[in-house]
């Protein structure tokens, strides 16, 4: 009986471990993705990225407009430095 219980407990523990690994991998992936997408503009000192969802909307697609999102208080560490299009004057 005891051996059976231990075996069941072992399976539960293994399942829990697998789940937690899955979750942490997902978080790392999201953070990495955000770092690659979000740029830092040194001119206006803001983080920015292309707002893909807004850019893909039928109206913006029709007039060929690309929408940008700005993040005033975004952590700037490790961000790729690229001047935003507003500072470039486009
Ligand atoms: Zn700028």
Q: How far is the CA of 89 from the centre of ligand 1 (A)?
A: 9
Annotated domain spans of the chain? 2-88
pLDDT at 65 over 80: yes
Q: How far is the CA of 32 from the centre of ligand 1 (A)?
A: 22
pTM: 0.57
In tens, the pLDDT along 5-59 reads 777 777 666 666 655 555 555 555 565 556 678 999 999 999 999 999 999 999 9
Phi–psi pair at 10, nearest 5 degrees: -60, -40
Strand pairing category for 39-41 and 80-81: parallel
User: Which residues make Cβ contacts (< 8 Å) with residue 79, sequence separation at least 6?
Assistant: 35, 38, 39, 40, 47
- Among the listed residues 83, 88, 80, the one whose alpha carbon sits nearest the alpha carbon of residue 37: 80
Q: Check residues 67 and 32 and name the one with the higher pLDDT.
A: 67
Q: How far is the CA of 62 from the centre of ligand 1 (A)?
A: 26
Q: How far is the CA of 48 from the centre of ligand 1 (A)?
A: 8
């Amino acid at each position: 009986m005891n051996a059976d219980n231990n075996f069941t407990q072992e399976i539960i523990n293994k399942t829990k471990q697998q789940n937690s690994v899955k979750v942490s991998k997902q978080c790392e992936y999201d953070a990495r993705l955000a770092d690659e997408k979000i740029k830092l503009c040194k001119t206006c000192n803001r983080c920015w990225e292309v707002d893909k969802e807004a850019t893909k909307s039928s109206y913006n697609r029709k007039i060929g407009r690309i929408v940008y999102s700005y993040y005033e208080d975004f952590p700037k560490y490790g961000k790729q430095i690229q001047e935003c299009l507003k500072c470039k004057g486009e």
